[in-house]
């Protein structure tokens, strides 16, 4: 499971990546059940990103995979997938944190291009040294 220390490491590294690229984003970290552990809104981040980032993180955690997979399913024509209960963040930018094949949580980022959101999330997760 993620500890408070883990969450702080993720947040610091993700924030550093965002600041290094001059990106104003919201960073969220959730546990394996999709429960919010951290919400970090950088100055200038879009207001709506405060809702999108945690939704992406929750979706990645509950789905045990990165949210790009779900976005691709929908974009490839399976629009009925949008009716899946409890998954509101089916946009690229949610990254599952996997340890020995188990999902222990996820990071969701929103505020810039989706590939940049992923870059920030992965930088945060990399700080754990998994």
pLDDT of 63-109, one tens digit each? 999 999 999 999 999 999 888 888 888 899 999 999 999 999 999 99
H helix intervals, the chain: 4-20, 49-63, 67-75, 114-126
What spatial distance separates the first Cα and last Cα of the chain, rounded to whole Å?
Answer: 13
For the chain, list the domains and their CATH numbers. 4-126 (3.30.450.150)
Instruction: Tell me the pLDDT band of 37, cut-offs 50, 70 and 90.
Output: very high
pTM reported for the whole predicted model? 0.94
Q: What number of CA atoms fall less than 13 Å from residue 10's CA on the CB side?
A: 29
For 106, phi and psi rounded to 5 degrees? -160, 160
pLDDT score for 61: 97
Mean residue pLDDT of the chain comes to 96
Look up residue 15 and give its two tokens.
């924030």
Q: What residues does 68 pair with on adjacent strands?
A: none
Instruction: Tell me the pLDDT band of 35, cut-offs 50, 70 and 90.
Output: very high
């Amino acid at each position: 499971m993620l500890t408070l220390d883990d969450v702080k490491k993720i947040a610091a590294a993700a924030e550093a990546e965002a600041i290094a690229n001059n990106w104003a984003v919201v960073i969220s970290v959730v546990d394996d059940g999709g429960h919010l552990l951290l919400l970090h809104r950088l100055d200038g981040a879009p207001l709506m990103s405060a809702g999108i980032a945690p939704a992406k993180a929750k979706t990645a955690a509950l789905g045990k995979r990165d949210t790009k997979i779900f976005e691709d399913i929908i974009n490839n024509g399976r629009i009925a997938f949008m009716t899946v209960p409890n998954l509101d963040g089916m946009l690229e930018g949610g990254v599952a944190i996997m340890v020995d094949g188990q999902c222990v949580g996820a990071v969701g980022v929103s505020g810039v291009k989706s590939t940049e959101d992923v870059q920030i999330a992965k930088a945060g997760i990399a700080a754990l040294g998994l």
